[in-house]
């Protein structure tokens, strides 16, 4: 999906035109992240709490960016992350873990620690989506 990522005059539209996948197993975190993204104009796929549902959501198309929690009820998200990267989807990890927990090849992706600062979330999503545009 192509979109202009120049800073919009209305900051509430900072993510307008972007489709974002949210994979998060904590209901409250998923809800909060989704609300922030939607308030800034994003179309959100999910949120979903597991890899199987995430794969189903992205089967028909490619989102502009994916936000992935690292640990989904004891299952690490790295296989899904690799699949998305192969499809050209930029990632932002949202986790309680330190970035050093990521496999070396995924450490180039932003890693936001919970609790997530909404401004940092918006900034990182915009940066990642711009790379794919």
pLDDT (tens digit per residue) in 32-84: 999 999 999 999 999 999 999 999 999 999 999 999 999 999 999 999 999 99
Cα 111 to Cα 13, 91, 115, 121, distances in angstroms? 23, 9, 12, 10
Asked if pLDDT for residue 2 goes beyond 70, the answer is no
Asked if pLDDT for residue 4 goes beyond 50, the answer is no
Q: What is the pTM assigned to this prediction? A: 0.91
pLDDT (tens digit per residue) in 73-115: 999 999 999 999 999 999 999 999 888 999 999 999 999 999 9
Q: What pLDDT, on the 0 to 100 scale, is given for residue 10? A: 60
Window from 33-37, 107-111, 119-123, 128-132 with minimum mean pLDDT? 128-132
Q: Domains (ranges, CATH) in the chain? A: 15-132 (3.40.50.2300)
């Amino acid at each position: 999906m192509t979109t202009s990522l120049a800073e919009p005059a209305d900051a509430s539209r900072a993510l307008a035109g972007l489709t974002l996948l949210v994979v998060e197993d904590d209901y409250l975190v998923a809800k909060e992240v989704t609300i922030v993204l939607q308030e800034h104009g994003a179309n959100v796929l999910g949120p979903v709490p597991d890899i199987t549902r995430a794969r189903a959501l992205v089967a028909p198309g490619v989102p502009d960016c994916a936000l992935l929690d690292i640990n989904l009820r004891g299952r690490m998200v790295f296989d899904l992350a690799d699949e998305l990267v192969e499809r050209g989807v930029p990632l932002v990890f949202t986790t309680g873990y330190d970035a050093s927990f990521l496999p070396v090849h995924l450490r180039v992706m932003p890693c936001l620690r919970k609790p997530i600062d909404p401004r940092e979330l918006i900034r990182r999503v915009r940066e990642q989506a711009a790379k794919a545009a």
